[in-house]
Amino acid sequence: MIQNLILGADIGGTHATFALADEAADGQPRILIQREYPSREFQNFAPILQRFLELPEVAPQRGAITASCIAVAGPVKDGASVLTNLGWQVEAAAVAEQFALKRVSLINDFHAAGLGVGELQAGDFVELQAAEADPEAVAVIVGAGTGLGVGIITRDGDRLRVLSSEAGHGDFAPTDELQDRLLVHLRRNYGRVSWERVISGPGLMRIFAFLQDSGFGAPSRQLVAAMKKAGDPAAAITEYGMGKLDPLAVRALDLFIAAYGAFAGNMALNSLARAGVYVAGGIAPRIVSRLKDGHFMRAFTGKGAFTPLLSGIPVKVVMEPKVGLRGALRVAVLSK
């Protein structure tokens, strides 16, 4: 049996990823076993953790786990959280007791992603805007997937610290007439409209439906078939929009990217993120070529008198899909 193992988990609205790791000679977590599960196939957190811990290669090692960290897509208070898009209730103390785990930490998923950025290499990023980062300033990480996450990254000496945020649930602010119309459309269904209603996988589908209902055209038969076949219709819209295979999908993706860039620019202004803005989440790596074409950055920097300030902030896409898991493992290492 390997001694002094750590358990990390990153639980999102679509995927739940677990890893068993040890600590390498340089102090970094070294993943030994990793598995990903569809979150919505489980009723709550306990069965999915049980599935991982009962794996034949994990079960014999359970007694050697000395620390665990679970990153969840929801606000965390006093070691407990209700996951925003799943409704699961997770409590660190209850997990520790039920599964006989030591030193269980519970953190927000973008808290974990912000810490995970510090574990990455230059090749794990794609640059959208080159600028000189101020290492003493604040950085921001934003990311759209099933939801819309935000974290504010600061430094304490050589160590990164992350302030959790729920800014993705702030009020959506249109920046042009088309987005004004989108807001009115969404308000009919939801009353209050948050940024996450627009900038997320479900948000892309809402944008697509809005454009269709507003007379901007109808999807091709091929796209309709692809959306019905796909487990995630937003993925089909993304594919057809990226490949310019369907005009309505292209327009939906354009509107999505404009809103995403504006939101990221708002987050940079909110914290004066002169150390940089990191665009993470499941969607950005899949559309990175479109993010690089200038549309995203025009929306990011289009802040009137503050355009020069935002033009001086480095912006990068995080291409490593397990950045949150990396951050969770880092917390587990430090809690040993």
Q: What is the pLDDT of residues 82-133, one digit of tens each?
A: 999 899 999 999 999 999 999 999 999 999 999 999 989 999 999 999 999 9
What does the pLDDT read at residue 231?
78
Instruction: Tell me where in the chain the CATH 3.40.367.20 domain(s) lie.
Output: 168-318
Instruction: Tell me where in the chain the CATH 3.30.420.40 domain(s) lie.
Output: 5-116+322-334
Confidence of residue 198 (pLDDT cuts 50, 70, 90): very high
What does the pLDDT read at residue 1?
55
Fold of 5-116+322-334: Nucleotidyltransferase; domain 5 (3.30.420)
Residue 234 has pLDDT above 90, yes or no: yes
Q: Which helix (H) or strand (E) holds 276?
A: strand 276-280
Residue 27 has pLDDT above 80, yes or no: no
Buried b or exposed e, range 98-129, using 16+ CB within 10 angstroms: ebebebbbbbbbbbbbbbbbbbbeeebbbebb
* The overall pTM is greater than 0.75: yes
> What CA–CA distance (Å, rounded) separates 107 from 213?
40
What does the pLDDT read at residue 156?
84
- Cβ contact 138:152 at 8 Å: yes
> What CA–CA distance (Å, rounded) separates 213 from 133?
43
Residue with tokens 């987005």: 179
Taking residues 261-290, report their average pLDDT: 97
Residue 319 has pLDDT above 70, yes or no: yes
Higher pLDDT, 184 or 29: 184
In CATH, what class is 168-318? alpha beta
> What CA–CA distance (Å, rounded) separates 146 from 100?
31
Confidence of residue 269 (pLDDT cuts 50, 70, 90): very high
Residue with tokens 């587990």: 332
Residue 203 has pLDDT above 60, yes or no: yes
- Cβ contact 105:159 at 8 Å: no
- Per-residue pLDDT reduced to its tens digit, 282-298: 999 999 999 999 999 99
> What CA–CA distance (Å, rounded) separates 173 from 182?
11
Supply the DSSP symbol for 135: T
